[in-house]
Structure 1
Amino acid sequence: MKKKLFSGLPIDLENTTKEIEKEFQKIIVRAEKRSYGKIVTIIEGVDPSIAKETLKSLKQKLGCGGTYKDNLIELQGDHREKIKKLLLELGFKEENIEISNEIE
């Protein structure tokens, strides 16, 4: 069986396109109070193609659980103060990150 020499984009180019996508995304971070008084941090606006990688990285750095569903990243606990710094480290632009101060 023959091996394919080329398949899709080169890895460097693929990573570069992901970095460019991050710069143009409008991110909204808010907190919600769920049943039993638990607080969940919600992150909206992350492109689905990079959402799972972003979620994995945030969960590791914050030491919390979380999930990705309905185009939202949900993290257990109130992490609004720390999240902006972590998103900047991941390559998102500061001007495009909006943090809500109210708990819904």
Structure 2
Amino acid sequence: MKKKLFSGLPTDLDNTTKELEKEFQKVIIRAEKRSYGKLVTILEGIDPLIAKDTLKNLKQKLGCGGTYKDNIIELQGDHREKIKKLLIDLGYKEDNIEVSTEIE
């Protein structure tokens, strides 16, 4: 496989832009009840460019399954309060994270 000589932006600049994107995103966390009474935690408002990395980190830290589809992250179980703390640790701004207390 050939090595790329130039990939566009330097890697440091690419990582910096991803960190900046996290600070300005409005994230909504809510829970839904699915079939057989199973609870699913839903995250909306995360940029598709960094959603897969965020999903991977959350699944590892929470020890649960999850998926990303239609610009929504779904995690198995009710992890609303834990996710807020983890998102803050990942670099998301606390003021931009909204946690719904109702189960839909």
Distance 1:4 1:69, change over 3 A: closer
Distance 1:58 1:3, change over 3 A: closer
* Counterpart mapping for 1:27-66 below 5 A: 27-66=27-66
Unmatched runs of 5 consecutive residues or more in structure 1: none
Partner of 2:79: 79
- TM-score normalised by the chain length of structure 1: 0.95
How far apart are the structure 2 equivalents of 1:76 and 1:25? Answer: 23
How far apart are the structure 2 equivalents of 1:4 and 1:28? Answer: 38
Distance 1:96 1:7, change over 3 A: same
Give the CA deviation at 1:91. Answer: 0.5
Partner of 1:67: 67
4+ long deviations beyond 4 Å = none
How far apart are the structure 1 equivalents of 2:29 and 2:50? Answer: 17
| Aligned residue pair count | 103
Please tell me the residue identity of whatever aligns with 2:73.
I
How far apart are the structure 1 equivalents of 2:76 and 2:66? Answer: 6
Q: Over aligned residue pairs, what C-alpha RMSD do you find? A: 1.2
- TM-score normalised by the chain length of structure 2: 0.95
Unmatched runs of 5 consecutive residues or more in structure 2: none
